Amino acid sequence: MATTVGTESTYPKLLRNLLLLEHDAIAAYEQTISRLDNPAYREKIAAFKADHDRHVQQLNQLASTVGAEAPQEGDMKQLLTTGKVALASIMGDAATIGAMRTNEEDTVTAYERASNHVEAPAEARQIFQSALQDELRHRAWMEETSRAG
């Protein structure tokens, strides 16, 4: 599902929607960890989840500086991100990781856009760029692992 995160007209709305996206991603990571058989895969996915936890902390800090709404959980999209992982898990670890890779597409796109958002201050853009690098690394590992599986 293609995301619109990063196209918001205001910086506070951008922060709110990035937080929703991150909470959705964390839920999908938790779902994935609980469904993987391979312990090395579980460990890698847990490390990626820790990156998302850090993103939430950073986004919450940015939101507090401008009085933006800071959701503490995901939205209805969470059903999609976790549901496709649950369905894919029936077919094994490679399919589960492949489903997660499709979720990573949204976070990559969102942080690419956020890094260039006209209202985002320089400090926020640096945080978004760092998060983008995390997301690109996650996606690359998932692409390689889902193909190898």
Q: Residue 115 is encoded by which pair of tokens?
A: 């890094």
pLDDT digits (tens, 9 = 90+) for 116-136: 999 999 999 999 999 999 999
Evaluate whether 27 touches 81 at the Cβ level (below 8 Å).
Answer: yes
- Catalogue all structural domains in the chain, each as residue range(s) with its CATH number: 11-148 (1.20.1260.10)
- The alpha carbon torsion through 96, 102, 108, 109 (nearest 10 deg) reads -160
pLDDT digits (tens, 9 = 90+) for 136-149: 999 999 999 988 76
What mean pLDDT do residues 1-21 have? 90
With tokens 């856009």, the residue in question is 113
Alpha-helical runs (H) found in the chain: 11-35, 39-66, 77-89, 93-114, 122-148
